[in-house]
Amino acid sequence: MLFQVEMTVTIPLDFDKVEADRIKAVELAYSQKLQETGEWRHIWRVVGQYANVSIFDVESNQRLHEILIGLPLYPFMTIKVTPLCRHPSSIRDDDR
pTM reported for the whole predicted model: 0.91
Helix, strand or coil, per DSSP, at residue 40: strand
- Cα 28 from Cα 48, distance rounded (Å): 20
Identity (one letter) of the amino acid at 22?
A: R
Q: What pLDDT is attached to residue 93?
A: 76
Enumerate the H helices of 13-82 as residue ranges.
17-37, 61-69
Helix, strand or coil, per DSSP, at residue 74: helix
The CA–CA distances, whole Å, from 28 to 16, 51, 71 equal 18, 14, 10
The structural domains of the chain, ordered by start, are 2-76 (3.30.70.1060)
The CA–CA distances, whole Å, from 49 to 4, 33, 45, 89 equal 18, 24, 8, 32
pLDDT tens for the chain, 96 residues: list them: 999 999 999 999 999 999 999 999 999 999 999 999 999 999 999 999 999 999 999 999 999 999 999 999 999 999 999 999 888 898 887 766
